[in-house]
Amino acid sequence: MNFNTQLQRKLFATVILNVFIAFVIIPFIGYSQQSIKPKPGRLAAIAHFPIGSAVGMRWLERDSVMVSLLKSDFNSITAENCMKPALIHPEQNRFNWTDADKLAEFCEKYNFRLHGHTLIWHSQVPEWMEKFQGDSTAFEAVFKDHIQTVISRYKEQTKSWDVVNEAIADNNGKWRKTFWLERLGKDYIARAFRYAREAAPAVKLFYNDYSLESDSLKRKLALKMVDSFRKQGVPIDGIGLQMHIRVDHPSLKEIEETFTKFAQTGLLIHISELDISFNEFKKEPRFKAFTPEMADRQKQRYEDVVSAYNRIIPKNQQYGITIWGFADKYNWIRPFFKQPDWPVVYDDSLQRKPAWYGFSNGLTK
């Protein structure tokens, strides 16, 4: 091609440049914008399974900032306290539905899945129940009535319940010696599940416990229980691994093995009360202030746990991950053990911590 004038050369160069911009640069920018598009700012939108928070009515009613973050980040709620026996059934002939009703309404209105917690437990029970005078037939009636009255009241609103909580003792692989066990015999657990199913057939029924990821004897008995439930036709749908863990304990390997073993039961698996703390419970606290190094360590730990759950638990068994307490200032560890800690993904000022980003990274790995 001959260009006779400088003008022709300039025109040709302009055409080539335009073609280059139109067919190469613009599509490239379009593509790269697509690939760096920020992830939606919601854990629940990133996850393939529900993301839960345990909340108390007190905070729901008083903290509007928390409520708006809750609505934008989460899509499942566990009743932190208001559905426990001591609160919902304060006297033998009186149930107190006020807070549980409000929570159920809140969940219905804003489309949260509601997980009930908990029907049978040795802690947070009313005195009248624990000290009940009467023979075993009368006590069995109390037990059955409590389970069936509570679960059937919310059978439309709660998709699932922790039917029995923490029935296994620590570090010895035996049943915990509770007043339930002592008065009703060890089959009380199986009967609790049968009563629950009878009253609310569509509700998913869970056994929930802590340290299943670190106490191998506890884990063994829980797995044995599931197996014998299978053989006897006891209705159980899921396992709740509470997972109140620490940044350095147990090892990721043990957590992964736990996920694998429980996944093999074929049941739904709920990480039901996740928090990752620094100080050991009931020990002199080693950590007194939260440093950036600690925040990074916690971020990595959240990422590891969430990604292990994401990878190891088959999709159809992923019931979700629930964080226990919305923010560090609302988490139970400080008031319960009276020691400092920073266990969850929002801080005391309701800001996202590095842990939040660790959690969200884990959801995509």
Smallest separation (angstroms) from ligand XIL to the CB of 147:
17
365 sits in which H/E element: none
Pick from 324, 294, 297, 312: which is nearest to 365 by CA? 312
Which one, 343 or 362, has the nearer CB to ligand XIL? 343
Respond yes or no: is residue 257 known to be catalytic.
Answer: no
Please say which residue, 165 or 265, places its beta carbon nearer to ligand XIL: 165
Question: Do residues 324 and 334 touch, judged by C-beta distance below 8 A?
Answer: no
166 is catalytic: yes
| Residue that has been written with the tokens 């692989």 in this structure | 173
- How far apart are the two ends of the chain, measured CA to CA in Å? 55
Residues of this chain that interact with ligand XIL (CB under 6 A) are 80-81, 165, 242, 273, 332, 336
Shortest approach of ligand XIL to residue 111 CB, angstroms?
24
Smallest gap from Cβ 68 to ligand XIL, in A, equals 22
Residue 240 three-state SS:
strand
For residue 134, what are the CA distances in angstroms to 65, 93, 186? 48, 15, 19
Distance in Å, CB of 340 to ligand XIL, minimum: 17
Residue recorded with tokens 């800690």: 341
Extract the tokens encoding 248: 């350095």
Give residue number: closest CB to ligand XIL: 332
Spot the catalytic one: 80, 213, 273, 303: 273
Nearer to ligand XIL, 43 or 243 (CB): 243
Strand partners, 168: 175
Nearer to ligand XIL, 143 or 206 (CB): 206
154 vs 361, beta carbon nearer ligand XIL: 154
Q: How far is the CB of 226 from ligand XIL (least distance, A)?
A: 19
**CA diameter of the chain:** 113
- Confirm if 310 and 362 have CB atoms less than 8 A apart: yes
Catalytic residue among 166, 198, 256, 293: 166
By annotation, the residues acting in catalysis are 166, 273
